[in-house]
Chain A
Amino acid sequence: MTSHVMGIDFGSTTAKAVIIDLDGEIVAARVSHMGAVSDQAVKEAVADVLAAAGLSQSDMKRTVSTGYGRRMLDIADKNFTEITCHARGAIAMVPEARLVIDIGGQDSKAIAVDASGLVVQFAMNDRCAAGTGKFLEVLARAMEISLDAMGDTAMQATRELKISSMCATFAETEVISLRAEGNSKPDVLGAVHAAIANRTLGLVSRVGKVGPVVMTGGVARNRAAVHHIERALGLPIILPADPQVAGALGAALIGLDDYRAEQARQVAAPEDEDFARQMVLGGACAPACKGDPVMARMVAGSSMTAGRRALLAE
């Protein structure tokens, strides 16, 4: 019997899969690293998360995909952009957040969300991967340091140096030059992370700087990146427990919304005004999880049948 929902984030460098139960609670989550967009990596992530949950694909009531490869997944019932999914997932993780900063492998986003968890405005990098995970990868190679060690090393910086935040390739040249001038690895890496923060601040300025701020995506695991972005913003950043899966979680929750809307349609009377609204919500997959203020108002204020109310309250 199907009992869960899966969200898959088919990113540029990693594949993430999350399984939630019908209460919206995470049952299992997995991240699979890959060199580039890879069907094989996604299959591995899906297989791993199903194994971790002790479930099979047939147990899924819905599977929703996001990320650059979102249209490549045959098993997905629907797909949504990572902007919509990261907003949905980040707010589920940190309900009070009003600004989501997501920095992934090849893109970075600033997403302003309203009290209902809906996207108000968003901004993305649109010409190059400067300020993203790819930027860090390139510079890690130039600095001969592992990606995992970059953040901790950068936090040891004692001097403020400057690196252009405009181009990963030219930044690599700058890094090599700074090292050749005798600057320490921590100081140079500190400048690298400051450059990312400047880039991020530019994105935030386009959507409006408003807290609380939550950070998602792989770069959120880099404490130097978080530190420098906090400094640039002048606001603290809230880090969820597993920021990298926010997009996959959001996709799963959108799938759950869709499932619940379908259930609501099945028990509602056609002339029910709220039924009509549920039809639209189901089609648009607006936030509908337990605790969502918009849905709560609708459930409380509607003239739904008792059966449908009970179903939505599940």
Chain B
Amino acid sequence: MGRVDTIIGELGRIAEDPVGYVAGWKERHGRKAIGVLPMNFPVELVHAAGALPVVVQESRVPITLGRSLIFEYYCGYTRSLVDQAVTSQLDMLDGMFIVDHCVALLGAMDAIRYALPDMPVYLAQFTASMDEPWSPPQVRDEIALLQARLAALCGVTITDQALRRSIALFNHDRALLRRVYELRRTGRIALRAAEMQVLVQSAMVMDIEDHAAAMTELVEVIDIERRPAADGVRLHFSGHFCHAPQPELLDLIESCGATVVDDDLYTGYRYISTDVPDLADPLDGLTTWYFDRNNNVPCSTRAQKTVDWESYLVAAVAADRSEGVVTLMPKFCEPHMLYFPELRKALLDRGIPHLLLETEHEGLALETVRVRVEAFVETIKRRAAVAPELA
């Protein structure tokens, strides 16, 4: 087993058991762990407060007791969050922060407050209107408020120096992850979609310095150990705003003659796309990051005239030379469902082959998924074969 397999294995074990990792980290360091929810919370603030930021993940266990507090027609991620709260899986967190981007998450947070009345829970609302002149000052004020709340919760003063250091660390880690993305996108390495997800997911829960150290070593060896394998049909994954698609699903898709070369998943490129600029005032930097990130990978929950998700997706597909797009849409994900017609229309108008897979917490009938993905791959191959004649 090479170093790449070993590193990905270690990071994978952390990604699979964030609860265990956080408990161990707290025991080693004697500091707090703060849960944050997707997608807009600047984790650097938590790190600068000396605490471990933990982007709370969907649990793989069936949802049971949580059903008493949240309806079935909420997405799997929100139902899992509530279930984790009710079944004591979130007890290791010393507080939870959210910058809302979805009304379902707000509902989940209400349920979590009910289930964990002693858990400090803080909600910030960054404006979703990205073009207004008053938007940046509003966001900055909210970030300052979060800074104050975190400082109070952790019993520290969050200095500009500490914040700049945290920003530099997270920027460095994101750059390493983007390097791996670039190597995969350009076909210089072979890396399964599930493995790429492990790299990003582990960054969401680990001590960032430890993660960056692992990534540094990985980047040094990956294009030696992971030469590209025979190419499958090149696919771009799109969707999943909050939580990770099940790795079994990702592996199954790639087993159908496909190679995933890029994505805009939250546990993927969306999380790492944008660095915090190094400005004199780090709160200005975090503010700018919020707006820059939507410029780079637009989110359907933000309202902005100058960018849109469908244009980004079409451009990304062209840039990474994908032959088709697989949309991974969690069932009941309203931000995605309501926006999907725009995405679909843009892909259809440009003749980009597209397959929609609706995912669920409870899992999928994988054989029917296999049939659909294989048929999608066959369709792409056959149409490409006769494309010169049809042109």
Contacts and interface: CB of A to CB of B under 8 A. Distances in A.
A256 to B, nearest CB: 15
Contacts of B385: 277, 280-281, 283-284, 286
A81 interface: yes
B372 interface: yes
Q: Which of A107, A118, A277, A297 gathers the greatest number of chain B CB atoms within 10 Å?
A: A118
Given A107-B368, A281-B385, A284-B382, A116 B390 contact: yes
Interface stretch (B96-104, B131-139, B373-381): B373-381
Nearest to B357: A126
Contacts of A135: none
Nearest to B373: A81
A84 interface: yes
A210 B389 CA distance: 23
Contacts of B384: 280, 284
List the 4 closest A-B pairs by CB distance, nearest first.
A83-B375, A284-B385, A81-B375, A284-B381
A68 B364 CA distance: 16
Contacts, number: 68
Nearest to B368: A126
Contacts of B378: 80-81, 83-84, 119, 284
Interface in B163-212: none
A80 B374 CA distance: 8
A281 B371 contact: no
Given A126-B364, A126-B365, A285-B382, 9 more contacts: A82-B371, A83-B372, A84-B375, A84-B378, A84-B379, A119-B378, A126-B369, A284-B378, A286-B386
Chain A interface, DSSP helix/strand/loop, else mixed: mixed
22 contacts: A68-B367, A80-B378, A81-B374, A83-B372, A118-B379, A118-B382, A119-B379, A119-B382, A122-B379, A124-B371, A126-B368, A126-B372, A277-B385, A280-B385, A281-B385, A283-B381, A284-B378, A286-B385, A286-B386, A294-B386, A294-B389, A294-B390
Interface of A: 68, 80-84, 107, 116, 118-119, 122, 124-127, 277, 280-281, 283-286, 294, 297-298
Nearest to B348: A121
A298 B390 CA distance: 11
A294 B368 CA distance: 31
B375 A119 contact: yes
Nearest to B372: A124
A280 B384 CA distance: 9
Contact of B358 (A126, A280, A297): A126
A32 B371 CA distance: 22
A182 to B, nearest CB: 35
B383 interface: yes
Nearest to B354: A121
B386 A116 contact: yes
Nearest to A79: B374
A125 B365 CA distance: 11
B117 interface: no
Given A116-B390, A122-B375, A84 B382 contact: yes
Contacts of B388: 277
A124 to B, nearest CB: 6
Contacts of B371: 68, 81-83, 107, 124
A126 B367 CA distance: 10
Q: Which of B369, B381, B382, B383 gathers the greatest number of chain A CB atoms within 10 Å?
A: B382
Given A116-B390, A126-B365, A286 B382 contact: yes
Contacts of B369: 126
Contacts of A285: 382
A118 B374 contact: no
Nearest to B381: A284
Nearest to B376: A122
Contacts of A83: 371-372, 375, 378-379
A115 B371 CA distance: 24
